[in-house]
Amino acid sequence: MATLKDAKIGHTVTVKKINGEGALKRRIMDMGITKGTDIMIRRVAPLGDPIEVTVRGYELSLRKADAEMIEI
């Protein structure tokens, strides 16, 4: 099971599943990250947190903890 946290810079991946429940899962889905969405990894901060991605035409920064819940 690969997660968004494991994806490499410059790669485009597709969301298979969002783990978690409740408000946290809803927050991720409200950002436009849903099953079947393509996400491009733009860059990662020097210490690995946060991760900058492009989703549905806009840039988004995600914490590693949130990226770990997104299966690709």
Q: What is the pLDDT of residues 34-67, one digit of tens each?
A: 999 999 999 999 887 899 999 999 999 999 989 9
Q: How far apart are alpha carbons 17 and 42 in whole angstroms? A: 21
Helices (H) and strands (E) in the chain, counts: 2, 6
Note the pLDDT of residue 1. 80
Contact at 8 Å (CB) between 59 and 53?
A: yes
What SS3 state is found at 7?
coil
The fold of the 4-71 domain, in CATH, is: SH3 type barrels. (2.30.30)
pLDDT, the chain, mean: 91
Bond from prior residue into 50 cis (ω within 30 degrees of 0) = yes
Note the pLDDT of residue 20. 84
Note the pLDDT of residue 55. 94
